Structure 1
Amino acid sequence: MSGEAFRQITLVSVTGLPDARGAAMALQLSQSQMPGTCALLCSPQAPDDLAPGIGHVAIAPMNYHEYGWFMMFALWRVVQTDFALVVQDDGWVVNAANWSDEFLGCDYIGAPIHLAKIDSPQGTFWRNSFDWAQELHKTDHIVTPIQNGGFSLRSRRFMKALVNHPHIRVEIPPPDVVEGDPLRMHWQHNALLEDVQLSGVLRPTLEAVGMRFAPLELARSFAIEHAGPQLHHGYDAMQLFGHHAKVRQLVSLAPLTLRSLIPLSQLDSWYGEREILQMFERNGYLIEFAPEPPPHQA
């Protein structure tokens, strides 16, 4: 663990929501484990109890997709250090003792998620549910797992890549499905998400201008979103540096408490989630579970 490395990093949380207390807690908890880092909250308004040492930049309220545009095009404007470590109220540093200076050798690193882009002689396609791991052994296939952006380390030059290289364009294809009442659009590979764009769709063009993405094994040790048997069987969750998942929320620092949005009775239907929560318990967290669903009424 390197204090010199930490001084190169700004912990940053961006939210367009009016209540940023969860994001502020994630920053405070992460910074307490990484002395020397800067910490910055970008939100419409600062919480009244924002911890000393955490800066604040006021931003306009944003919806989920506007958040993605901010991360791709404006994050560099608020971060002055060489790297940004993105945290959220559902993604933060779990154990800084697992930090590796090797992470700084990447321009972008995040947890490998369930989704990947696959380039094959037959064309490009996407695989979900970690099924992409079955393609890794095929020498004529290039498998590009998406790396989660909600807890991710990004270099300053990566944050400016779409500005400094304007020929790299974010392009949204037509939706795969438009249906329902009310009518909804759906993209099979979540093309609207900033991490899908940056670490999947645009990765070849970003690599062509020198951007370095974490190899799969390093990304797996960096953080976790959800576990998949093809990728995480036999791994040690106690070696993780961080995490990000919508189903895990930081709700208190004293006592240190995580809320799982999964009812306890449904936990084992999520592969590996029980082991992830046990890891948090071993790191000193109390775990709260979502209320049990009401009994089925005939």
Structure 2
Amino acid sequence: MARRLPLPQVTLCAVSSVNVKATVRALEASLAQIDVGAALLLTDSRLEPDHPGIRVIPIAPITSARAYSEFVLTQLVDHVETSHCLVIQWDGHVLDATRWEPDFLAHDYIGASWPQYSDGHDVGNGGFSLRSRRLMLLCRDAAFRRDHPEDVAIGRTNRQWLEGQGMQLAPRALADRFAAERAGDVRASFGYHGVWLMPQAIGMEAFWRVYRDLDDRGTIRHDFSSILEQMRRGRGGLKRTSRLIWDQIISRKQG
């Protein structure tokens, strides 16, 4: 087994009340590549991960995306003792630890860039992001305007104020080497975020296994068309695309 990248100054964190099994898989995939100071799953689900390095922290249910933002901005820092926190979600994780750059830790916030912005405030995505503990503490400051989604609150709404407090957000080029999402190259980054990237990042068969274990398949709705097209071209395409469509019909009725 290859030696894992030592990152003792980083706490790996995931916060979720849905798709928890897939979230555990993302933590395990990351831990296969990096050796961190701590690995935490903050959830209301009762489970014991097989991986001995994952510690479960019981929390109240996260009932919405807005509630997730509020928790990450105000409560997650209470569980982080290291200088930095690597936040991941079920649809993103560390891909290639050899692409780690020490300069990542020289910044207080780094996540995949947002190609839709051209004003320089374009870093970045929170679903796979590295943030310093001192930045996380500032997110609880009375002057910080908390909003949803939490990554926009950090990367855009409060960026100027955060920089005024001495925080350094990564430049776009570095962010694109850190992670791929709407921009960047999933084949040339340390990690990624985005369910539509999963077939490319982990392979179609592995993605299908993850998908079948999801307890909220409606979470792929925003990127359904992209996933459907990739699935159509893969093995068992007709059967699997039919299942995807049916699942979305059911999730909309339940929603």
Task: Note whether the superposition's TM-score is higher than 0.5.
Answer: yes
Structure 2 partner of 1:127: none
Q: Is there any run of 5+ residues in structure 1 with no aligned partner, and where? A: 117-131, 133-141, 173-191, 269-273, 275-285
Structure 2 partner of 1:162: 139
Moved over 6 A (4+): 286-289
Is 1:109–1:154's contact at 8 Å kept on the other side of the alignment?
A: yes
Letter in 2 for 1:220: D
Aligned residues: 222
Is 1:257–1:287's contact at 8 Å kept on the other side of the alignment?
A: no
Structure 2 partner of 1:33: 33
CA deviation map 1:109-133 (0-9, x unaligned): 00002332xxxxxxxxxxxxxxx3x
Is 1:115–1:146's contact at 8 Å kept on the other side of the alignment?
A: no
Letter in 1 for 2:111: G
Structure 2 partner of 1:149: 126
Structure 1 partner of 2:23: 23
Residue 38 of structure 1 aligns to a residue whose secondary structure is: strand
Change (3 A) 1:209 1:22: same
Give 2:151's match in structure 1, choosing from 190, 195, 210. 195
Give 2:174's match in structure 1, choosing from 218, 223, 245. 218
Report the CA distance between 1:257 and its aligned residue: 1.3
CA RMSD of aligned residues (A): 3.2
Structure 2 partner of 1:266: 229
Structure 2 partner of 1:67: 68
CA distance in 2 between partners of 1:59 and 1:40 (Å): 12
Matching of residues 170-181 of structure 1 within 5 Å: 170=146
Residue 149 of structure 1 aligns to a residue whose secondary structure is: coil
CA distance in 2 between partners of 1:217 and 1:167 (Å): 29
Report the CA distance between 1:238 and its aligned residue: 2.7
CA distance in 2 between partners of 1:288 and 1:224 (Å): 26
Residue 31 of structure 2 aligns to a residue whose secondary structure is: helix
Change (3 A) 1:265 1:57: closer
Residue 244 (str. 1) matches residue 193 (str. 2)? yes
CA distance in 1 between partners of 2:236 and 2:169 (Å): 33
Report the CA distance between 1:47 and its aligned residue: 2.5
User: Which is higher, the Rg of structure 1 or of structure 2?
Assistant: 1
Is 1:224–1:244's contact at 8 Å kept on the other side of the alignment?
A: yes
Larger helix fraction of residues: 2
